[in-house]
Amino acid sequence: MGSRRIEFVIAENPPKRLDKAVSRDVPEEAALSRTRLARLIGEGALTVDGAVVQDPKANVAAGAVIAIEVEEAEDSHIGPEDIPLEIVFEDDDLIVINKPAGMVVHPAPGSPSGTLVNALLHHFGGNLSGVGGVKRPGIVHRIDKETSGLLVVAKSDAAHQGLATQFEKHTVERYYQAICYGVPDGNDPRLRGVKGASFEPGNILKLTTHLARHKTDRQRQAVLFQGGRHAVTRARICESFGNPPCAALIECWLETGRTHQIRVHMAHAGHSLVGDPTYGGRRKLPAKALSEEAQDAVRAFPRQALHAAVLGFGHPVSGEPLRFEAPLPQDMAELLAALRQ
Round the average pLDDT of the chain to a whole number and report it. Answer: 89
Task: Give residue 156's pLDDT.
Answer: 81
Q: Is 334 helix (H, G, I), strand (E, B) or coil?
A: helix
Question: Cα dist. 71→6, 32, 329 in Å?
Answer: 11, 12, 43
**Sheet (strand 46-48) strand order:** 3-9, 65-71, 46-48, 51-52
- The residues annotated with a catalytic role in the active site are 144
pLDDT in tens, 97-137: 999 999 988 776 666 788 888 898 888 875 554 544 444 57
Mapped onto helix, strand or coil, the DSSP state of residue 211 is strand
Alpha-carbon torsion 271, 275, 281, 285, what sign?
positive
The beta strands (E) that lie in 33-86 are given as 46-48, 51-52, 65-71, 74-75
CA torsion 91→93→98→102, rounded to 10°?
Answer: 140
CA atoms within 13 A on the CB side of 154: 29
pLDDT digits (tens, 9 = 90+) for 175-206: 999 999 999 999 999 998 999 999 999 999 99
Q: Cα-flanking dihedrals φ and ψ of residue 7, to 5°?
A: -125, 140
Residue 133's pLDDT is 44
